[in-house]
């Protein structure tokens, strides 16, 4: 009976997930998950992939969700295999990216009984999943199968636009599928709805989207507040769904005629701006107290997660007494600096678009004409200084400037946490040609960067580039196995400074002899050997040439690694020099 029940159970779950729109399944090999693996493999509606490393499998699935907004499934066997998904689950939770985690388990009678490969998988990922289902051992019973189908629909709905969902599925032996089983045939005849689902091909239960919508009175009140503010500032932070939220933030900026401080992950930095003033170099000059004092808003409208830029965060935290409105429709509180005076809990894009229409329909009050001019002068001075400094001694920020310009319209730039995302924030110039910038900034780890980039590439319409450091590259070497996927092509720009370059930006760099071995951690590895192992073309490129080489590699459309060698101490010095030069010119421009 158990073999037939396992087969029917797993196929029903796969069927229901497909009916709910799931199309991507990532598998890691194992025995206890056999019923699930074979059910997904036999169902022609899925793109099924396999990876030897559970961690890389999970981050690939995360990348699919990050780029598409639809949950992908990752399947593992029991034991430590399931534990290896934890980093991706945490990132999915903190960045509110949809992800469906299916872990096979031993049946209850083998739990806490010294059975091999049996660990406690109940709520294994703690508070991070949006929902958890510890399902029953498969059985051929109508109510049980109908419940399973309902759970599948609930899981997809709970994950979509929200984060990870964990389904723990115990299977008893035998695990291999059976065909033409009389018990299964009799069950299907007696319980057609449970065995085959709804006859119209629809999900077993339609679960509507869980989007909170701001009331008309909230929109009107917010529009009134902005209309009465002479110096409104829009701050667009990293966004879930940047393709929708970014343009919506720009629409408010256009309606008000105010500056939009656009995080590179907001969807506002690299997009058609309309009449909005897009500000991108703020990280370099908001470090200065005099500049911050000159740029004092009367109202802040912030959307998305906390900005990447530490100077911007410090600037916002120093604006005590200024009305600070946060718009956020996610499931996490996004005000770690305790600066918000108003928190609108509603869908980001919908709220901003309705706000922009309200402002356009009813007009804006009397904004200070000098306000946008101040930011415009600051941004122009910063960009001019950066352009002039580009011919000087190159640094890692130059790499991100070039990468942000080289990816063609409609392409994707995936950047690692640590220095690449910070350099993209500081040095990535706004552009009208649409570019999607993504990163794992939910928990800001450097694990899984390679795999997440490949996952994003598998569902992205345009070419994908990934900029990462040597430590992040080393950390996810197994992710290079994804280069075998025909529909996932990534050009990786590897910034190799032989260690943790970000630590040179911190005061701890002055504490030798302990700094180098314990923080900078030089590894001395030739990472070209890793590319050779996977058969991936590998080229060394000079910093001034990286833009042209990246553009050519993206046009070819093959996975490739372009290594740029840099020196940590030189990079730290050049960052400080450029920031000082930018600040001086901005102060001069602001008078």
Q: What's CA 191's distance to the chain center, in Å?
A: 42
Residue 478 CB contacts under 8 Å (≥ 6 apart), including other chains: 51, 52, 53, 55, 56, 451
Structure tokens at 180: 């033409």
Strand segments, DSSP code E, in 112-254 are: 131-134, 164-170, 232-236
**2-196 and 396-565 share one fold:** yes
Cis peptide before 513 (omega within 30 of 0): yes
* Sheet containing strand 277-279, strands side by side: 277-279, 259-262, 232-236, 299-303, 323-327, 342-344
Mean pLDDT by 10 residues, the chain (591 residues): 86 97 96 95 96 97 96 97 97 97 92 82 96 95 95 96 95 85 86 91 86 89 94 96 95 95 97 94 96 96 94 94 93 89 94 95 84 96 90 89 96 94 96 95 91 97 96 95 96 89 65 68 87 96 96 96 92 91 95 85
Superfamily (CATH) of domain 2-196: Thiamin diphosphate (ThDP)-binding fold, Pyr/PP domains (3.40.50.970)
Q: What's CA 406's distance to the chain center, in Å?
A: 21
Is 386 in contact with 586 (CB distance < 8 Å)?
A: no
Q: How far apart are CA 415 and CA 397, in angstroms?
A: 13
Q: How many CB atoms lie within 10 A of CB 532?
A: 12
For residues 95-110, b (16+ Cβ closer than 10 Å) or e, as one string? bbbbbbbbbbbbbeeb
Structure tokens at 533: 């192992």
Pick left, alpha or beta for residue 417 (phi over 0 → left; psi -120 to 50 → alpha; otherwise beta).
beta
Q: Would you state the pLDDT for residue 28?
A: 96
Q: How far apart are CA 166 and CA 162, in angstroms?
A: 13
Q: Where are the domains of the chain?
A: 2-196, 216-374, 396-565
Superfamily (CATH) of domain 216-374: TPP-binding domain (3.40.50.1220)
Look up the pTM and report it. 0.94
Residue 268 CB contacts under 8 Å (≥ 6 apart), including other chains: 236, 246, 247, 249, 250, 260, 262, 276, 278
- Identify the burial level of 150 via C-beta atoms within 10 angstroms of its C-beta, where 0-12 means exposed, 13-18 middle and 19 or more buried: middle
Q: How far apart are CA 2 and CA 180, in angstroms?
A: 14
Return the closest-CA partner of residue 399 out of 432, 418, 424: 424
Q: Would you state the pLDDT for residue 518?
A: 61
Is 232 in contact with 298 (CB distance < 8 Å)?
A: yes
Q: How far apart are CA 289 and CA 442, in angstroms?
A: 29
Q: How many CB atoms lie within 10 A of CB 557?
A: 10
Q: Would you state the pLDDT for residue 484?
A: 95
- Helix-helix angle 396-406:568-590, to 10 degrees: 70
Q: Would you state the pLDDT for residue 124?
A: 95
* Sheet containing strand 47-50, strands side by side: 47-50, 24-27, 72-76, 99-105, 164-170, 131-134
* CATH dotted code for 396-565: 3.40.50.970
Beta strands 232-236; 164-170: pairing state: unpaired
Structure tokens at 394: 């190159």
């Amino acid at each position: 009976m158990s073999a037939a029940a396992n087969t029917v159970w797993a196929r029903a779950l796969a069927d229901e997930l497909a009916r709910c729109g799931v199309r991507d399944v990532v598998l890691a090999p194992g025995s206890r998950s056999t019923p699930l693996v074979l059910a997904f493999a036999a169902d022609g509606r899925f793109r099924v992939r396999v990876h030897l490393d559970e961690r890389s499998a999970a981050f690939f699935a995360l990348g699919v969700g990050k780029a598409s907004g639809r949950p992908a499934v990752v399947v593992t066997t029991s034991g430590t295999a399931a534990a290896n998904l934890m980093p991706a689950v945490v990132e999915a939770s903190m960045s509110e990216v949809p992800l469906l985690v299916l872990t096979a388990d031993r049946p209850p009678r083998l739990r806490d009984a010294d059975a091999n490969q049996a660990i406690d998988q109940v709520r294994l990922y703690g508070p991070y999943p949006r929902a958890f289902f510890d399902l029953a051992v498969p059985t051929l019973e109508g109510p049980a199968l109908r419940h399973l189908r309902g759970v599948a629909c609930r899981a997809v709905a709970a994950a979509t636009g929200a984060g990870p969902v964990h389904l723990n599925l115990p299977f008893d032996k035998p695990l291999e599928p059976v065909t033409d089983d009389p018990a299964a045939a009799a069950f299907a005849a007696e319980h057609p709805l449970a065995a085959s689902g709804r006859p119209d091909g629809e999900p077993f239960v339609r679960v509507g989207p869980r989007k909170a919508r701001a009331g008309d009175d909230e929109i009107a009140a917010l529009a009134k507040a902005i209309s009465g503010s002479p110096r409104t500032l829009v701050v667009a932070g990293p966004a879930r769904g940047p393709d929708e939220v970014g343009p919506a933030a720009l629409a408010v900026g256009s309606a008000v005629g105010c500056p939009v401080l656009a995080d590179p992950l907001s969807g506002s930095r690299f997009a058609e701006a309309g009449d909005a003033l897009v500000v991108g170099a703020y990280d370099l000059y908001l470090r200065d107290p005099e500049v911050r004092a000159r740029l004092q808003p009367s109202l802040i409208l912030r959307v998305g997660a906390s900005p990447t830029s530490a100077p911007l965060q410090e600037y916002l935290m120093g604006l005590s007494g200024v009305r600070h409105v946060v718009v956020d429709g996610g499931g996490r509180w996004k005000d770690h600096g305790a600066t918000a005076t108003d928190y609108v809990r509603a869908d980001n894009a919908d709220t901003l678009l309705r706000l922009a229409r309200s402002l356009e329909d009813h007009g804006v009050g009397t904004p200070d004409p000098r306000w946008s001019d101040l930011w415009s002068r600051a941004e122009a001075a910063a960009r001019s200084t950066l352009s002039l400094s580009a011919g000087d001694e190159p640094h890692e920020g130059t790499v991100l400037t070039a990468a942000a310009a080289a990816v063609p319209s409609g392409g994707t730039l995936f950047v690692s946490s640590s220095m690449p995302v910070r350099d993209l924030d500081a040095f990535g110039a706004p552009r009208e040609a649409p570019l999607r910038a993504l990163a794992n900034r939910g928990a800001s780890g450097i694990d899984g960067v390679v795999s997440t980039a490949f996952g994003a590439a598998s569902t992205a319409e345009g070419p994908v580039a990934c900029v990462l450091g040597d430590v992040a590259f080393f950390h996810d070497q197994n992710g290079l196995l994804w280069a075998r996927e025909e529909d996932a092509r990534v050009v990786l720009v590897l910034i190799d400074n032989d260690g943790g370059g970000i630590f040179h930006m911190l005061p701890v760099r002055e504490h030798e002899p302990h700094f180098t071995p314990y923080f900078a951690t030089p590894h001395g590895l030739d990472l070209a050997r890793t590319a050779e192992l996977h058969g991936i073309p590998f080229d060394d490129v000079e910093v001034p040439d990286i833009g042209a080489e990246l553009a050519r590699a993206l046009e070819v459309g093959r996975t490739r690694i372009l290594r740029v060698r840099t020196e940590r101490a030189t990079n730290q010095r050049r960052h400080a020099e450029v920031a000082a030069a930018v600040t001086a010119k901005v102060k001069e421009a602001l008078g």
